[in-house]
A = this chain, B = another copy of it.
Amino acid sequence: MKFTINRAAFIKELNNVQRAISSKTTIPILTGLKLVADDSGLTLTGSDADISIETLIHSDNPDNQLAIQSPGAIVLPARFFSDIVKRLPEDNLTLDVTEGFQTEITSGSASFTINGLDANNYPHLPEIDASDAITLTGDVFRELINQTVIAVSNQESRPILTGVHFTLVDNQLLAVATDSHRLSQRKIELPSAASGTYDVIIPGKSLTELARMLGDDNPDVEMRLSENQVLFTIGDTMFYSRLLEGNYPDTSRLIPNESTTSAEFDAKGLLSAIERASLLSHESRNNVVKLTLDPANSQAKIFGNSPDVGNVEEALTPSEMTGEELEISFNPDYMKDALRSFGAAVITISFTSPLRPFTLVPTEDKENFIQLITPVRTF
């Protein structure tokens, strides 16, 4: 195996594939990066057994300056190889596999020889032959991930809650996550008719990596399912993730249908006030802030308190407020995550009682996005 390639084009794909490679794997060969050179180009593969990423660098794209002198395959220690490639002196590099998997990497006057591994021992990627695919733009998919993944549980005690629950019914994609203290739900009407129904749970960690990889180029993302794997195809890159097994709890009944008090806020302004209040609540044993709403007198206030340090009180300015007087306490960190997910939107917060979950929705698009937070009992 021998090829020459443009270093910048190579590094870009190397960075993508490396997202799947962990140095903490229990399968030693997975700390390596697999390279395969053939007629179509150079294929890079990385995997941590949960996530696998494979990308093809085309020979026929002149930007890649890829010339394959002889086909073949090798597995190289990923971290080192990437460090080496990034520090090479010239615009191009040549990689040449010699005897006993020894691999020579040259660029200008620098020449590295590193010990590779037999690519035949690298695990096979899952095969997904499903032809049904959902297609979304990268921006929409990234937003959907970022809005739901915040509510995913990071406790392994209930593994099923570490994933986001995706269902597809009647051309409507629904994504829900909950850690049992809060819930986030996003609906998307698919642009083109999809066949079949989905009901899968994708690990939050996989989705976070996928969202990072989508970047700002806004590429189309194609999503395909098999029994225990999902495959996202983005251009020439394939991103595989295992699915979580089990039944996701029924979350539809958790969302209240009515409210007794509601208020409309600018999400960014409310976020700043919660951030100030949490400066003090974070110093307290039970990280809680208190919100009081008095629609009759048009008064809304937020309170934070730490016995050691002091307290904070701030008058809020909801653009609208209706219903009964209310005093409610909650974890400000859940509130901050939820508020950030709305960006600069105007939101409506609806309450039923100081001990029942309350909801946040964008005022202009109530149907498709909802955040739910369970309050904290302080009396």
Contacts and interface: CB of A to CB of B under 8 A. Distances in A.
Interface of A: 77, 80, 83-84, 87-89, 102-103, 109-115, 272-273, 275-276, 279-280, 283, 308-317
B83 A115 contact: no
B314 A84 contact: no
B84 A114 contact: no
B83 A279 contact: yes
A112 B310 contact: yes
Nearest to A311: B113
Counted per complex, copies of this chain come to: 2
A178 to B, nearest CB: 30
A311 B87 contact: no
Given A77-B309, A109-B314, A279 B115 contact: no
Given A77-B309, A113-B310, A310-B112, A89 B315 contact: no
Contact of A111 (B275, B309, B312): B312
Given A272-B89, A276-B87, A315-B109, A114 B310 contact: yes
A133 to B, nearest CB: 41
Nearest to A316: B109
Q: Lowest 4 A-B CB distances belong to which pairs?
A: A114-B310, A109-B315, A110-B314, A112-B312
A270 to B, nearest CB: 12
A238 B290 CA distance: 43
Nearest to A302: B110
A77 B109 CA distance: 57
Contacts of A314: 109-111
A89 to B, nearest CB: 6
Contacts of A316: 109
Contacts of A84: 276, 279, 312
